[in-house]
Amino acid sequence: MEVWKGRITAQYKDYYRVRVEEREMLAEISGKLRHQAEEKYEYPVVGDFVEMDRNNDQEGTAIIQSILPRSSLFLRREAGNSHQAQPIAANIDIVFICMSLNRDFNLRRLERYLSIAWDSGSKPVVVLTKSDLVENGEERRWEAERVAMGVDVLVTSSMKEDGYQTILPYLEQGVTVALIGSSGVGKSTLINRLLGEEHLPTGEIRNDDKGKHITSRRELFVLENGASVIDTPGMRELRLDQADVGKVFEEIEELAKGCHFSNCQHQDEPGCAVKKAIEEGRLDASRLSSYQKLQKEAQYEGLDSRQIEKEKIRRMFGEFDGVKNARDFIKSKKDRYR
């Protein structure tokens, strides 16, 4: 049987829109693939390359037989108490982390997005939008650059026809770019500019300066030059699944190499190079606080309350061999710091 290759451009409840040889069609997954998939990320997702039984849907819906190996996968935790990993998109080369320069500007949230983007296997690029609405755009760009070390930080304006020119060099033929960020930061507006038409709906900013939720699903668009862009629903709250926290806080990881103790927690330990850097003004204390918070969140994500408590105890006592009670723990700690 002949096999046809295509790419998922949109996902509906039980169907997928697939692009095959310059045209799009509807498809559904085979019973075998549905039976084998145990986790949500094992189902097809926008951006996936798949194999199908036909190259059109004129005689019935095409059947997706298999998912080709992914080069990257962007995941997030589902809202609520679920421990399921929700796939956002696959085979992304570059992630545009979009954040507006007005009240949506949040460096702590940017750190979270960067952690997830690095872990996905994609290259993050920070895109600061709505520069026309603020007067301190350059100052905020500098603040973002300090957080996103080693990552390109671009500034765009949705009000000008050429306000998106800074992102064009990243959109080369064959490259797939996904846009992520909170609702109302201008992701859909940027994509409309790139498409040259008002294909995606956009919303006005509410009175509290937060965006309205307009995009309801992930969707892939192919530009005239052969580049692909993926629009995603707004994600203001982003729970960590797995995250490359160290990549976002490289300066802290580098400083930690100079700590007296290899497992230094950068709290009250003597000889802590990280705390010394803060005292000398070489490191912002808020960076350390955010680093420690995200580390703990990534470590505890997916655990229930009892497992989290056990993990906390292990972190406190596990580093000391032979410690059986709190008194021994305190004695061991005193001996350690002498």
Domain ranges of the chain: 4-67, 73-231, 245-337
Q: Which of 3-7, 129-133, 292-296, 334-338 has the lowest mean pLDDT?
A: 334-338
- Min mean pLDDT across 151-160, 189-198, 325-334 is at 325-334
- CATH architecture under which domain 73-231 falls: 3-Layer(aba) Sandwich (3.40)
Reply yes or no on whether the pLDDT at 207 is more than 50: no
Q: What mean pLDDT do residues 274-284 have?
A: 89
pLDDT at residue 309 above 50?
no
Contact 277, 253 (CB under 8 A): no
The whole model's pTM is what?
A: 0.71
CA distances from 300 to 49, 175, 239, 312, 338 (A): 33, 35, 11, 9, 32
CATH number for 245-337 (one of 2.60.120.620, 1.10.630.10, 1.20.1530.20, 1.10.40.50): it is 1.10.40.50
Say what the pLDDT of residue 244 is: 61
Mean pLDDT, residues 122-141 taken together: 89
For the domain 4-67, what is the CATH superfamily, name and number? Nucleic acid-binding proteins (2.40.50.140)
In this predicted structure, the answer to whether residue 103 has a pLDDT above a threshold of 60 is: yes
Mean pLDDT score, 320-337: 45
Per-residue pLDDT band for 209 (boundaries 50, 70, 90) equals very low
CA angle 143, 111, 319 (to 5 degrees): 125
What pLDDT was estimated at residue 69? Answer: 95
Write down the pLDDT at residue 195: 84
- Are the CB atoms for 65 and 33 separated by under 8 Å? yes
Bridging pattern class, strands 94-100 and 123-129: parallel
What percent of the chain stands above pLDDT 70? 73
Res. 295 pLDDT band, cuts 50 70 90: confident
Average pLDDT of every residue of the chain: 78
Which of the four pLDDT bands, split at 50, 70 and 90, describes residue 6? Answer: very high
Long-range contact pairs involving 275-283 (C-beta distance under 8 Å, separation at least 24): 283/251, 283/252, 283/255
User: Taking residues 14-41, what's their average pLDDT?
Assistant: 90
β-strand pairing of 94-100 with 153-155: unpaired
Give residue 79's pLDDT band: very low, low, confident or very high (50, 70, 90): low
pLDDT value at position 330?
A: 44
Say what the pLDDT of residue 23 is.
87
Q: Does residue 216 or residue 187 have the better pLDDT?
A: 187
Can you give the pLDDT at residue 239?
Answer: 52
